[in-house]
Amino acid sequence: MSLLREFTKGLWKDIPPFRLVLGLCPTLAVTKGAETGLGMGLAVIFVLTCSNVLVSSLRKIIPRQVRIASFIVIIASFVVMVELLSQAFFYTIYQSLGIFIPLIVVNCIILGRAEAFASRNGIVASALDGLGIGIGYTISLTVLGSIREILGKGTLFGADVMWSSFRPFAFMVEAPGAFISLGILLAIMNSISSSSRS
Amino acid sequence: MREIIQMIVVLSVISTVCGLALSGIRNMTAERIENQVLMNVQGPKVKLVLEGADNDLITDRKKIKIKGKDILLFIGKKEDKPWAIAYETISGGFGGDMKVMVGYDLKKNKLTGVQIIENKETPGVGSRVTEDPFTKQFKGLDININFAIQKDGGKIDGITGATYSSRGVSEAIQKSIALLPEIKKLIQKQ
């Protein structure tokens, strides 16, 4: 596969969480608003790309039996780095993401790509894989977050966007709204893919 | 045998390098993080506790040492003259430690306000000690009254169903008042 394919596959064909059905927990939790969705996505891009690159460069040295342990140590270190850097430079995002920053460590997408791709491919390909999937995830989170924010609060990135007599659907920013939005988007994406195939 | 050694070495080296890198980053960001916490967490709460002060409460803060402990002291001024001070004390709540900021009017020896800075209380139950109905009862109280909750014979109205949380705040305030005489002496010297 050409290197460009490694990057673009994360944007549609293998986009999490819709096609690569991984990382659903944080998806549901941080998409209460567009801004937190975007913030989480950017954190994941950083961790995913860095861990993919490091895992890929060490892939010939790490023995098979300790590979998961090694991957987790590497992933966890980058996550702590993100936590410290966001505390230092983006405190409001840090406050709104709260406990979900440390939970990036157990986001299946990251360990999944390390095991399925970075440990078997070259550094550049792994970097592009991480970037593509990370950006795809960010787009998904931001879109999902925007839908839930617009319908659930009437705002987008904090600014009022609906007409003044609009009554927000409060359940959209709670758990039921998350599942429903995710399910509907999943169904739409599946129907687009199957109609383009036939 | 060679495999086992390689496993141990690789994992140890990776862990050590990661650990060193992280402690390095932590050191580099420590001061900035302290400032951010000050501005975003303590800042707004200090402004509420020392409501009425006309100076920049964050730049006018001082680090002092009382009984061997470092205390961050916020000084509220009116027309450039020190009017009130505020500092944090820690005590145990229901779910863990809580940090409570208490403000004192230096001349009148009355509380200017109380705010909960950090808590691990049960949301909706113990966390209600952070809300206005509970915290505003402390405004204007004389420092010499009995700050235990009414259940314990004092004057403070606790929250029903949140006894430990209410007690935690009460204890923090009592600890805070205990430090007041020494702190006043220290700032009067300066």
Q: Tell me: the pLDDT tens digits for B17-55?
A: 999 999 999 999 999 998 888 888 888 899 999 988 888
On the question of pLDDT at A197 being above 80, the answer is no
Would the CB atoms of B33 and A62 count as touching at under 8 Å?
no
On the question of pLDDT at A100 being above 90, the answer is no
Q: Tell me: the pLDDT tens digits for A123-144?
A: 999 999 999 999 999 999 999 9
On the question of pLDDT at A193 being above 90, the answer is no
Domain-embedded: residue A191: no
Residue in chain A lying closest to B9 (CA) = A62
* Alpha helices (H) along chain A: 3-8, 24-30, 34-57, 67-89, 91-97, 108-113, 123-153, 175-197
What residues of A are in the B interface, CB distance below 8 Å? 58, 61-63, 65-66, 69-70, 73-74, 76-77, 80-81, 84-85, 87-89, 91-92, 95
Mean pLDDT of chain B: 89
The residue segments making up the domain with residue A132 are: 3-146
Tell me, what's the pLDDT at A172?
A: 87
On the question of pLDDT at A79 being above 90, the answer is yes
Domain-embedded: residue A163: no
Which is more confident, A13 or A179?
A: A179
Beta-carbon contacts of residue A14 (< 8 Å; ≥ 6 apart)? A20, A132, A133, A136
Would the CB atoms of A63 and B29 count as touching at under 8 Å?
no
CB A150 within 8 A of CB A32: no
Q: Tell me: the pLDDT tens digits for A14-71?
A: 888 888 888 888 888 888 888 889 999 999 999 999 999 999 999 999 998 999 999 9
On the question of pLDDT at B16 being above 80, the answer is yes
Q: Report the residue of B2, B3, B5, B11 to disrupt the A interface, i.e. the one with the largest count of A CBs within 10 Å.
A: B11
Domain-embedded: residue A182: no
ipTM: 0.79
Domain-embedded: residue A78: yes
Nearest to A63 among B6, B26, B29 (CB): B6
Would the CB atoms of A65 and B3 count as touching at under 8 Å?
yes
Tell me, what's the pLDDT at A11?
A: 84
Domain-embedded: residue A197: no
On the question of pLDDT at A1 being above 60, the answer is no
What residues of B are in the A interface, CB distance below 8 Å? 3, 6-7, 10-11, 14-15, 18, 21-22, 25-26, 29, 32-33, 36-37, 39-40
Write down the domain spans for chain B. 46-189
Tell me, what's the pLDDT at B102?
A: 93
In chain B, residues with a C-beta closer than 8 Å to the C-beta of A63 are 3, 6-7, 10
Tell me, what's the pLDDT at B113?
A: 92
Q: Tell me: the pLDDT tens digits for B134-165?
A: 999 999 899 888 888 888 888 888 888 889 99
Domain-embedded: residue A168: no
pLDDT band at A154 (very low <50, low <70, confident <90, very high): confident
Burial of A49 (0-12, 13-18, 19+ CB in 10 A): buried
On the question of pLDDT at A198 being above 70, the answer is no
Would the CB atoms of B32 and A89 count as touching at under 8 Å?
yes
Residue in chain A lying closest to B12 (CA) = A70
Tell me, what's the pLDDT at B126?
A: 87
Tell me, what's the pLDDT at B58?
A: 84
- Nearest-angstrom CA–CA distance, B27 and B44: 26
Tell me, what's the pLDDT at A96?
A: 83
Measure Cα distances from A82 to A10, A39, A55, A135 in Å: 22, 11, 18, 17
